[in-house]
Amino acid sequence: MILMRLIDSHCHLDYNRNRKDIDEVISRAKSNNLVAIITCTIDKKIDQVKLLIKKYNNYVFHSLGLHPPGYTKESVKYIKKLILENSNSIVSIGEVGLDYHWVKNEKDRKYQEIAFREFIKLSKKINKPIVVHSREAEKEAIDILEDENASNVLMHCYSGPVELVKRIINNNWLISVPTSVVNRKIHQKIAIECPLKNMVIETDSPFLSPDKEKNEPYKVIFAAKKISELKKIGLNKVADETTANAIKFYSLPL
């Protein structure tokens, strides 16, 4: 029997519904073939995740970023400082990027762009990959990433347009397909369009549940199963390739 290896490439273990029973969440992940979990902090509170990556050394990994709707001069400066202070213990910067869904006014959008460019520059300076949040601003985010010559990029929970998938692939970046691919048409189209060599999978838990219960890392298997069905590729191959891509992208010591 071949043992399947899965990685949840993006989730939020410090959010309420994951945090409450965190040890059970991790043990369910371990007993469901997950070999690593990348948890992403998106505000100033990183202490709990720092404890977690110590406790679950080489299993839980930390990506440090800031949710774009929260960008202010003060918060961006603070997070950049945190990134530098923690550059040895984090695997990536992110999620960072643009959010035009929540941020409507021109001035704030302009500042998001400035901050996003600063995060991209920082990721190159400390030689860490960047995990991008782009909501209703996908083209704009890609334009900026190309303009900044970003090379190690993961488009987290990329939600279209499908036409831009080719550009992402041409840049050799990754698309992270979330568990909501189980029932959301747009993610299904993207999963069909995106070759496995450019794909990783994520839960974004506790968000984007594939069912009516809360989402958590072990459910990344539901994304793998759906991708296998959509692409008519064996489940083991989907698991192997997405896991290898995540290991390489985050330079995981696995």
Residue at token pair 């960047």:
130
Give the nearer residue to Zn ion in terms of CB position, either 178 or 243: 178
Under 8 Å between Cβ of 157 and 182: no
CB 187 to Zn ion: min, Å: 14
Cis peptide upstream of residue 206 (ω within 30 degrees of 0): yes
Nearest to 62 by CA among 34, 39, 83, 31: 39
Give the nearer residue to Zn ion in terms of CB position, either 113 or 202: 202
Which single residue brings its beta carbon nearest to Zn ion?
204
Residue at token pair 């594939």:
210
Nearest to 8 by CA among 212, 231, 192, 210: 210
* CA–CA gap between residue 229 and residue 239 (Å, rounded): 13
CB 44 to Zn ion: min, Å: 16
| x/- track of binding to Zn ion for residues 172-211 (CB under 5 A) | --------------------------------x-------
CB 10 to Zn ion: min, Å: 6
Give the nearer residue to Zn ion in terms of CB position, either 69 or 229: 69
Residue 14 lies near Zn ion (rule: CB under 5 A): no
CB 53 to Zn ion: min, Å: 17
Give the nearer residue to Zn ion in terms of CB position, either 131 or 238: 131
Cβ count within 10 A of residue 237: 13
Return residues touching Zn ion (CB under 5 A): 204
